[in-house]
Amino acid sequence: MHQSTQNGSPFNWLDERVPISKLVQFLSRKEVPRHKHTFWYYFGGLTLFFFLVQVVTGILLALHYRPSPEAAHESVVYIVNEVAHGWLIRSIHSWSANLMVAMLLVHMFSAFLLKAYRRPRELIWISGVLLLLVVLGFCFTGYLLPWDTVAYFATLIGTEVPKTLPIIGDWGVSVLKGSQEIGAETLARMYTIHIVILPLTAIVVIGFHILLNQIHGSSIPTTALEQKPPIPFFPNFVLRDALAWTLGFISLVALSVLLPTGIGEKADPFASAPAGIRPEWYFLPLYQSLRIAPASVFGISGEFLVNALVAAVGVFWLLVPFLDRSAAENRRSRLFTAIGILLIFYIAGTVLLAYTT
């Protein structure tokens, strides 16, 4: 590279102002541990890849989408029917959201089971959990945008969830809805959160997450007893990542083209909720837990108990690096492994149950 760049070349001009060669040197010195669990390292990159696809397709959709109850549904139909490749762009946006959540869950649970949150990587874990919330926020706010019947009633139910929380419950609902009903204010809020607030938050948190990852490097699991020589990050690991991204893109294209995303009837606030309505698969654990919870336990509302339990699990999940003392001392922590596996089974079980009942 340096031989091909002469003094006074555009590269040298740029390199003097933006130290690209130093960055390349840093990346070529960086190494990725190589052991029997190295495979799981690819899922963080795949999550980032699907996020980038979301950004690009989201910008294209925003060029034609109109965020008002009168025009939202028509604008989505217009995007699909009239805009060149609009159906494909919308379908890619929708499918990459699903794949992003799936990759994020795999990345998070693999990090959990491999105890990647051990000192000094506590903040990498915490920023990752925050990213999960941001991604779920993206999905929730994006769901209403097509303004069809299912989106309308799913949002109506979803925005009522914080209501059971003490003190901040009613405030939370009014912040989300913007008015008593799901209407123009709600759509405007969801759209603003979806295209401005969450992307800005995501960029900051992703930047922080990646920066810390570059500083500390990838975590080596305590169970990886036999280690092989590490993989140089550039170009060896980058090429592996590029291969994973290409395979991810192939899956995305296949799903988007063969199973394009549809749309329901335009939302009618005066109509009754359609039968069998259920949220997207990633919200099904919460939905199914609310369904199976008893109406009340010792006089306390079942809905409140489920929400409180989910909040408690969320706080536990966030604070795992400080609670798992065995992992902090580089010892095996079977209890936390069991908790992680139990949680995976609970999520998978509730999703299956919601689809089959």
Partner 1 sequence: MIQATRIAFGVLFLISDSLLAQESGTSNQLQFPDFTTRAIIAASSIAAFLVLAFLLYRKRKEVDRRAGL
Of residues 239, 297, 342, 348, which one binds partner 1 by CB under 8 A?
239
Q: Is the peptide bond before 285 cis (omega within 30 degrees of 0)?
A: no
Least separation in angstroms between residue 94's CB and partner 1 is 10
CA distances from 231 to 27, 46, 218, 228 (A): 12, 18, 11, 9
How distant is the alpha carbon of residue 213 from its chain centre? 18
Of residues 20, 62, 257, 335, which one binds partner 1 by CB under 8 A?
257
Determine the Cα–Cα distance for residues 177 and 180; give it in Å rounded to an integer. Answer: 7
Which of 34, 37 has the CB closer to partner 1?
A: 34
Determine the Cα–Cα distance for residues 29 and 77; give it in Å rounded to an integer. Answer: 50
- For partner 1, the binding residues in 261-280 under the rule CB under 8 A are 261-265
By CB under 8 A, is residue 250 in contact with partner 1? yes
Determine the Cα–Cα distance for residues 223 and 242; give it in Å rounded to an integer. Answer: 27
Least separation in angstroms between residue 259's CB and partner 1 is 5
Q: Under a CB-based contact definition with an 8 Å cutoff, are residues 117 and 324 in contact?
A: yes
Of residues 48, 60, 80, 161, which one binds partner 1 by CB under 8 A?
80
- For partner 1, the binding residues in 309-328 under the rule CB under 8 A are none
By CB under 8 A, is residue 98 in contact with partner 1? no
Give, in degrees to the nearest 5, the angle at Cα 198 between 280 and 79.
65
Q: Which stretch binds partner 1 (CB under 8 A): 111-119, 195-203, 253-261, 305-313?
A: 253-261
The DSSP annotation for 231-278 comes to: EEIIIIIHHHHHHHHHHHHHHHHHHHHHS-----SBP-TTSPPPTT--
**Encoded amino acid at 259, one letter:** L
Strand partners, 31: 232
Of residues 4, 81, 180, 357, which one binds partner 1 by CB under 8 A?
81
By CB under 8 A, is residue 71 in contact with partner 1? no
By CB under 8 A, is residue 222 in contact with partner 1? no
Which of 77, 290 has the CB closer to partner 1?
A: 77
Of residues 139, 197, 253, 308, which one binds partner 1 by CB under 8 A?
253
Q: Which residues bind partner 1 (CB under 8 A)?
A: 34, 77, 80-81, 87-88, 148, 150, 229, 231-232, 235-236, 239-240, 242-243, 246-247, 249-250, 253-254, 257-265
